[in-house]
Amino acid sequence: MTKKAELYKALATFSASIKGIEKDARNSFHKYEYTSSERMMATVRSHLLENGLVFIPLSSEIREGQVASMVNGKQGPVEERTAILRQTFRIAHENGEHLDMVKDWPIAPERGRPMDKACAAADTTSISYFLRALGLIPRGDESEELDYSGRSQPVHDGPEPEQPKAKPKKQEVKPRSKTETKSATATVLAYCSELVKLDNVDDVPKLKRKFAKQIKQSERVAKYCKAYTKHFVGDNLDEDEERIVLAVNGMLDEAQEGKDG
């Protein structure tokens, strides 16, 4: 068997060895679990090594992308040119043979997320999706049938498990007053406005202490401020947090337009 054939055989064995990857994160807005980039990379790494394979990032290059139509607050559709992160990856076998592949991923800098943070986020996400595609890995629990989408029923070898007890109904929550809503919105805007003006992410704790009392008094304010802080420092966001960031960006744009007007 040639060295190239040994490499492809090892890749086939690697792909067959992963039946599914455990979901370790949760989207609180849409109420579903998903696999984080960190879990994807850690799991794939161990399976590659078991088959005499290693993943090596060779190079990264930022390229100019296409002009895209985007919505920016009240301004409506605006055109922005995107950037593309082009990465070259190598899958090497212990016999010395290797296979090089190239992957492109969009870079999305925006308010509170400068270019360096946007590049870091694109790098992490690109690697995660490349590794998933390398082994055609489903995201899910390997005890589920079909496509791991959560629509199928789990397979059980033993007796049927006990049905979970019904959760007690939550007490009805009274709607917020207009005054409470206005106050919470004002606090979020004040916090986020100062956040995006910071020159250094090391100053974030100081800003949090400044707004600690207002944030502690409202669960909604705490949720919004936490999501936007993660966005500012470049941490991975779930879909719920991404929706919050878009909403806050819209409010900040409207507030700025009011000042300019």
State residue 52's pLDDT score. Answer: 96
With a cut of 90, say whether residue 6 has pLDDT above it. yes
With a cut of 50, say whether residue 24 has pLDDT above it. yes
State residue 153's pLDDT score. Answer: 36
State residue 159's pLDDT score. Answer: 47
With a cut of 80, say whether residue 259 has pLDDT above it. no
Pairing assessment for the beta strands 32-34 and 98-107 based on DSSP bridges: unpaired
State residue 148's pLDDT score. Answer: 33
State residue 155's pLDDT score. Answer: 37
Q: Where are the domains of the chain?
A: 3-135, 178-260
State residue 142's pLDDT score. Answer: 38
State residue 92's pLDDT score. Answer: 96
74-91 pLDDT, tens digit each: 445 555 667 899 999 999
With a cut of 50, say whether residue 146 has pLDDT above it. no
At residue 240, φ and ψ (nearest 5 deg) are -60, -45
Residue in 161, 129, 159 with CA at minimum distance from that of residue 44: 129
The top-level CATH class assigned to 3-135 is alpha beta
Which of 59-68, 142-151, 174-183, 238-247 is modeled with the greatest confidence?
238-247
Ranking 142-156, 176-190, 199-213, 220-234 by mean pLDDT, the lowest is 142-156
Higher pLDDT, 39 or 172: 39
With a cut of 80, say whether residue 165 has pLDDT above it. no
Q: 32: phi > 0 → left, psi -120 to 50 → alpha, else beta; which? A: beta
Strand-pair partners of 67 = 81
Residue in 83, 118, 110 with CA at minimum distance from that of residue 235: 118
State residue 123's pLDDT score. Answer: 92
> What percent of the chain is predicted at pLDDT more than 70?
75
Q: How far is CA 143 from CA 12, 150, 188, 224, in A?
A: 22, 11, 43, 36
Higher pLDDT, 261 or 45: 45
> In the 3-class helix/strand/coil scheme, how is 176-187 assigned residue by residue?
CCHHHHHHHHHH
Residue in 159, 129, 162 with CA at minimum distance from that of residue 34: 129
With a cut of 60, say whether residue 187 has pLDDT above it. yes
Mean pLDDT of the chain: 79
Higher pLDDT, 180 or 18: 18
200-257 pLDDT, tens digit each: 888 889 999 999 988 888 888 899 999 898 888 888 888 888 888 888 888 887 777 7
Residue in 226, 236, 261 with CA at minimum distance from that of residue 128: 236
Question: What integer is the mean pLDDT of 15-28?
Answer: 82
